[in-house]
Structure 1
Amino acid sequence: MKVKSFVFSICIFSFILVAGCSSSADWNSRFVVWNGYLYDVSEEYITETDDEIGRVTKYSDKEGTYSGTYSNKYKKGTKLYSIKGVHTDEAIAVEEDGKYRKLINNGKYGEK
């Protein structure tokens, strides 16, 4: 009887541990990773974009490390643009509901 109780306790503990680890994590910020850099979504919209510089290739709302151009806010296929008069090292723009939202460079991805 003690062995069954012990095994049952281990099973319950394992279930709780796995359930807690596999939940969908909410990252601290909304972002796009482009060209190896992390761009945080700002509240600012811009009126003039320049060239299309890429598209989101992966969307995930689960915390993790991914390669390519990905986002935890924007779906696959969302267009990214350079901003007229602003270097891409500083900021880029994302097309959102017919408007362009500014994304601020927050440094090399994976270094923070």
Structure 2
Amino acid sequence: MRLIKGMYVFTTLSIALTLFAGSAYASWAYSFVVYHGNTYVVTDERVEPSQIGSRIGKVTKYSDDEGTYSGNFSNQYPKGTKYYHIIGVKVRDAIAVKEAEDLYVKATYRGKYAGGKNRAVDGWPIVLIALLVLLLAGYYRKKKSIR
């Protein structure tokens, strides 16, 4: 009986530790912004104020730790940093990011940002642990009622 109880505790702890093992923090490989689900890599190239068109968005979430984020996310710029259309350039190719008054840098399109699409996966470890706890509680309750 003690052996079985010990095995359940060991299994529960092993599953919990395995599920949370992927929570280590890491840094991003390059600076970028996300606009409407697209990733734009921040360059050193300046954009003249005369080339700046209308404001198209802003950073809604900042983090310098790798992870899964949604919205207009950036790993370099704080929340509220504004994005602009560059006159004569398709938004699909590049956008301008405002760094300071009359100082804009070009961010070039890299591809779709997959991070925001996987948000539902974030809750699975908690759901699995809760399910395991409920199963174990039911098992012990049933075992006690048999005695």
Q: Which TM class, normalised by the smaller chain length?
A: 0.7 to 0.9
Q: How many residues align?
A: 94
Report the structure, 1 or 2, having the larger helix content: 2
Q: Structure 1 counterpart of 2:109, which letter?
A: N
Q: Partner residue of 1:108? A: 112
Percent of pairs with identical residues: 48
Q: CA deviation at 1:26?
A: 1.4
CA positional deviation for 1:97: 2.1
Q: How far is the alpha carbon of 1:22 from its aligned partner? A: 3.3
Aligned to 1:72: 75
Q: CA deviation at 1:75?
A: 0.1
Question: Which residue of the other structure, out of 50, 53, 56, is the alignment partner of 2:56?
Answer: 53
Deviations along 1:13-51, one digit per CA (max 9) or x if unpaired, are x8xxx6xx534x211000001111000001100111101
- Which structure is higher in strand share? 1
Note the aligned Cα RMSD (angstroms).
Answer: 2.0
Which portions of structure 1, spanning 4 or more consecutive aligned residues, are displaced by more than 4 angstroms? none
What residue ranges of structure 1 are gaps of 5+ in the alignment?
1-13
For structure 2, the 5+ residue unaligned runs are 1-16, 116-147
Alignment TM-score, normalising by the size of structure 2: 0.59
- Greater relative contact order: 1 or 2 (C-alpha under 8 angstroms, separation 6 or more)? 1
